[in-house]
Structure formats: structure tokens, C-alpha cells
Amino acid sequence: MNGWILAATVGLGGGGAAALWGVTTGSPGRRVIAQNLTTSAVCPALLLLSQGYGRPAYVDLALLMALLGPVGTLVFARLLADDLADERPSAWGLTWAAAGLAAAVVIALCVAGGPGRAMVKLLVIGALLIGGNVIASRALAGGFREVRGG
Amino acid sequence: MNTAMHVLPYLVAVYVFLTGCYGLATSRNLIHAVGCLAVCQSATYVLLLAVGYRDGATAPVFSDIEPGSRPVVDPVVQALTLTDIVVGATVTALLLALVLQIAKRHGTVDPDELRELRG
Amino acid sequence: MSDAVITVSLLLVAGCATAAVVQRDPARQALVLSVLGAVLAVLFTVLQAPDAGLSQLAVGSALTPLLIMLCVRKVRRRGRTKDGAR
């Protein structure tokens, strides 16, 4: 069991349990935030797993998750807008903490892997993760104003 | 300890399947029932991949390693799982369309209030 | 060796599945199903099936919740217009 897989296990255990607890209890606002943070908790774990198993091909999963996770959150933000209308859920502390985690994992993997195409891919995934997380959080906190008639 | 590790994936698959079946049987909302069916289908994915897994082996994808350099897990069950996932999505879409039609014709999505199948 | 990560993923899947069944409201269940999709993708990666994980991510984290949410909205709107027209 090498250190990367151990770190991924810890990240999965903590992040997954927290996301599951957040998505099953509380107001709709909190549940949508927990669903948003699932992406940010699970994607770094996937990156660590790809390094731990020694398979650079697994990084594609993290890429797809960084792309589709915010899409899922935007779907919920749009279609649950009526339920979220009174709340404006926002958790900027958690968002920035998740961004910090993503940055730390990407930097650690870039240092371990060394320069090359793989490093560019990792940097793209990190940018997508952080950017997608911020965009989805903005959408949740700002609300969709034009939804009333749609 | 090792036997528990060998048996755990199958136990989880059975548990998830039974949980989905319980939800399907006791559901009061047809859309919730479709979600429980999706849970049942995910149990079959777990079972298939547990059958094909080998300790210490890696994925049968050779874009980044040499074929034959490392032991690989069974690729056939992975193909079955891929097919299963796509079929599951299609079935979910079809069932949701049927639920919409039921809501249009009978005005309710509560299975207890649908009288057509009553003997 | 990597038994711990397999155990953690399996337990997460079991917990998510239980939560998905216990949530009786379909809109909230769609949220849990999205999390279940992501956790299943991780389990597939850990069981060395990244291709199945890619499909599961695409289907489970965006597609199935989108379908369920659209259906919920249509059924709700139909119920609302019927009450309004009465």
C-alpha cells in the first residue's frame, strides 16, 4: 500500500462521508452544496489513485469528472430553482477549501510526475476543477432570476 | 480477514440489490420507484466487476503500459458492465416517459391510487 | 494491499444506495443519485475498470439526475395547472 493510495483512501473516506451526510440531511440548499462538493472531494482522490496505481490512463476519469460535475450541479441549480428561491445557498469557505485541496493535489502530482504532456493535462484538470467549482457555487448563490416563467 | 475481503463485494452487491427492491416495493411515488430501479441496476454492476477482479492486477487498457507486462483483470465482464450501464440509462429514460404518460392520463403518480391493474 | 480503498469505496456505495432508497421525495433522491453515480465511478476505478467508470460518470452524474428532475418538474406543473384550472 503506497502513500498515494493511502491519501486517496483518507480523502475518499472523509470527503465521501461528509458529502453523503450533507446530501441526505438538512434543507435543499445544503443538499445542493453537498452535491457540488462531491465533485471537489472525489476528483482529487481519483488523481491520487491514478498515481498510486501507476496508470496515467486513469487521469481521464478525473478530467471527465471535473467537466461533468459542475454540469450536474448547474442542472440542479436550474431545475430546483423554485425550491431554492428563498435560500440562496452559498458556502464560500467550503468552496475555497475545496479549491485549495485541488491545487495541493495537482501540485503534488506535478512534482512527482515531472514536466511533460502529463503535467499539462494535470494542470488543465486542476484549472477545470477549481473553475467549475467556483462557477457552480456562483450559480447556486446567485440564483437563476429568469426561471419564474420557464 | 482475507476471506471477509473476498466476500465483501458480493455482500455489498446483494445488500444494494435488496435495498433497491425494498424501495421499489414500498414506494409511494413512481418517480421514486424508477430511482430505486437504478439502484438495483448499480448492484449488478458491482457484482459483475467483483467477479472479474484479480488481486494485484490492473486495468486491461494498454495505452500507457505494455501488453503482458502486468497481470490484468478480466476484460469480458467490463464489456458486460459497459453495456449494462448504457442499457440502464435507456431503461430509466423509457420508464420516466411512461411515468409522464401515467401522470397525464390518471393525474397521479402514486401507485396505490392506480386502479387499472386491480383484479 | 489496496484492500482498504476497496472496502471504503464499497461501504460508501452501500451508504449512498441506502440513502437513495430512503429519500422518498424524487427531487431529493435525484441529488443522492448524482452522488451515487460519482461514488460508483470511484468504485469502478478501484476495481480496475476505468472504461466502465467513464460511462458511469457520464450517465450517473449528469444524465440520470437530469431526466429525473425534468420528469419531476413536468409532473409538478401538471398538478399545479390542474389545481389552478379547477
Q: Is C80 helix (H, G, I), strand (E, B) or coil?
A: helix
Question: For B57, which residue in chain A has the nearest alpha carbon?
Answer: A53
Task: Please tell me the distance in Å from A19's CA to the nearest CA on chain C.
Answer: 8
Contact across the interface for A56 and B59, Cβ inside 8 Å: no
B72 pairs with which residues across the strands? B58
The answer, for B2 touching chain A at a CB cutoff of 8 Å, is no
Angle at CA of residue A102, ends A100 and A103, nearest 5°: 65
pLDDT by position in tens, chain C (length 86): 578 999 999 999 999 999 999 999 999 999 999 999 999 999 999 999 999 999 999 999 889 999 999 999 999 887 766 554 44
Interface test with C, best of B54, B96, B112, B114 (most C CBs within 10 A): B96
C-alpha cell at A63: 478530467
Shortest Cα–Cα distance, C35 to chain B (Å): 12
Is the pLDDT at A147 greater than 60? The verdict is no
CA B28/CA A78 separation, integer angstroms: 26
How far off is chain C from A30, nearest CA to CA, in Å? 11
Tens-place pLDDT, residues B64-104 = 888 888 899 999 999 999 999 999 999 999 999 999 999 99
Judge contact between B34 and B96, C-beta under 8 A.
Answer: yes
B63 in reach of chain A (CB within 8 A): yes
Q: Which of A72, A69, A129 is nearest to A104 (CA)?
A: A129
| Contact at CB, C22 and A24, closer than 8 angstroms | yes
Is B90 an 8 Å CB contact of chain A? no
Neighbours of C31 (CB within 10 A): 29
Residues of chain A in Cβ contact (below 8 Å) with chain B? 53-58
Does residue B16 carry a pLDDT above 80? yes
The SS3 call for residue B58 is strand
Q: Grid coordinates 465483501 are at which residue? A: B8
Question: What are the chain A neighbours of B59 within 8 Å (beta carbons)?
Answer: 55, 57-58
Averaged confidence pLDDT in chain B? 91
What ipTM describes this predicted complex?
0.90
- Tell me the pLDDT tens digit for each residue of A47-77: 999 999 988 899 999 999 999 999 999 988 8
CB-CB neighbors (< 8 A) of A32 in chain C:
31
pLDDT at A117 over 90: no
Please tell me the predicted confidence (pLDDT) of residue A143.
61
B64 and A53 in contact by Cβ < 8 A? no
pLDDT classification of A148: cutoffs 50, 70, 90: very low
Whether residue A119 has pLDDT greater than 80: yes
Residue contact C65–A16, C-beta within 8 A: no
Question: CA-CA distance, A125 to A102, in Å (whole number)?
Answer: 9
* Residue B65 at interface with chain A, using a CB cutoff of 8 Å: yes
Q: Are A39 and A65 in contact (CB under 8 A)?
A: yes
Q: At B113, list the grid cell.
A: 391510487
B66 in reach of chain A (CB within 8 A): no
pLDDT in tens, B30-70: 999 999 999 999 999 999 999 999 988 899 999 888 888 88
Chain C residues touching residue A57 (CB < 8 angstroms): 50
Nearest to C10 by CA among B45, B76, B77: B45
Domain B2-59+67-110 has CATH 1.10.3720.10: no
pLDDT of B49 reads 95
Residues B84, C74, C84, CA angle at the centre, nearest 5°? Answer: 160
Residue B63 to residue A57, Cβ atoms within 8 A = yes
C: neighbours with 3+ CB pairs under 8 Å?
Answer: A, B
pLDDT value of residue A149: 42
B26/chain C closest Cα distance in angstroms:
10
